[in-house]
Amino acid sequence: MKARSLWTVAPGVAEIREAVLPPPGPDQALVATRASGISRGTERLVFRGRVPESQWGAMAAPLMQGAFPFPLSYGYAAVGVVQAGPEALRGRRVFCLHPHHDAFLAPASMCVPVPDAVPDRRAVLAANMETAVNVLWDARPLVGERALVVGAGVVGLLVAFLLARVPGVDLAVCDLDPARRAIVESFGARFCAPGEAPADRDLVVHASASPEGLQLALARCGFEGRVVEASWFGDRACDLPLGEAFHAKRLALISTQVGAVAPAMRGRRTHGERLALALSLLDDPRLDALVGPEIRFAELPARMAEVLDPPQGAPQPLCPVVTYI
């Protein structure tokens, strides 16, 4: 079976390559892709060649092909139908942490069934939802806390979606883009611009991937509050005001990253169980607002740059979806 795949071959340059897939092994599944999601923050760093060499190992996607910096085939949000493999998976829709290919072989253990109630387009959010789940496990929100999410990208919005479910939480979401207001309010939180962000927060999750956002998060955190850093800056330095009130307020700055299950649940949940939980949490049509626009796979090399870095003044997509059928 021939399969086509997206490869980044130089900074800002992508192409589609074709290869013949071997027959699946006894523990593999052959998947025909129906949709894949573009994780704009991480894939922008990869596409631009901005993953620092010290992080090449940590940033390697589970089933990526090639190697950093280039050429490589990168991505981790594929939804498709199993054509061949274990009987329990054959014919089922699955999510897999796989790059943008129109068909692929993957370990059957990495192919997690998609709940019937979750459509293909929404299911591509599973990797980002898994990140949001891990953020909450690291953040350990409490009933009735005053919380703030800085940055209403996909991860920030999914964190807000989950935080809004915690009883009694007073939740605000801060972003520069007023177009995110409707989504935030649909989750039951309130939207604010940076200058209006409330202070004395018990918990602040930073997800804007900007030094200014993290500075704001520290400034709005209350006494002995915690700031959970969910962004990743790649090779950029980030200046922080760790003088001023940082020590007087006894703040905690906590890193979170999806590669390892958060300590609160490590040993209790596997990576596969965490991903299955993330997929089940996508059973909510309000999350459809995070997905789009749709891009045909054949058009992806020509459109990747504009999707990752839209022209100034153009709409900023959240999770673009690549379609294959």
92, 15 Cβ separation under 8 angstroms = no
Nearest in space to 319 (alpha carbons), one of 297, 287, 280: 287
Average pLDDT, the chain: 96
Domain-embedded: residue 251: yes
Residue 127 CA from chain centroid, whole number: 5
The pLDDT score that the predictor gives to residue 296 is 98
On whether both 52 and 91 belong to a single domain, the answer is yes
On whether both 54 and 156 belong to a single domain, the answer is no
Tokens linked to 157: 């919005």
Domain-embedded: residue 183: yes
151 band by pLDDT with thresholds 50, 70 and 90 = very high
**Domain of residue 304, residue span:** 2-125+282-323
On whether both 232 and 184 belong to a single domain, the answer is yes
Q: How far apart are CA 111 and CA 95, in angstroms?
A: 6
The pLDDT score that the predictor gives to residue 211 is 93
Report pLDDT digits (tens) over 19-60: 999 999 999 999 999 999 999 989 999 999 999 999 999 899
On whether both 62 and 177 belong to a single domain, the answer is no
Domain-embedded: residue 273: no
Average pLDDT over residues 260-283: 96
- Decide if pLDDT at 236 tops 80: no
244 band by pLDDT with thresholds 50, 70 and 90 = confident
Q: How far apart are CA 203 and CA 7, in angstroms?
A: 39
Domain-embedded: residue 47: yes
Tokens linked to 13: 């340059």
110, 78 Cβ separation under 8 angstroms = no
Residue type for 259, please? G
Q: Percent of the chain beyond pLDDT 90?
A: 91
On whether both 121 and 135 belong to a single domain, the answer is no
Tokens linked to 216: 């704001």
Q: How far apart are CA 283 and CA 201, in angstroms?
A: 30
What is the helix (H) or strand (E) element at residue 197, kind and residue range? none
Beta bridge partners of 107: 28
Q: How far apart are CA 294 and CA 124, in angstroms?
A: 12
Q: How far apart are CA 56 and CA 49, in angstroms?
A: 11
Average pLDDT over residues 173-200: 97
Peptide bond into 317 cis (omega under 30): no
On whether both 88 and 196 belong to a single domain, the answer is no
The pLDDT score that the predictor gives to residue 9 is 98
Q: Which residues are CB-neighbours of 34 under 8 A, at least 6 positions away?
A: 79, 80, 81, 93, 120, 323, 324, 325
Domain-embedded: residue 112: yes
How many independent structural domains does the chain possess? 2
Domain-embedded: residue 269: no
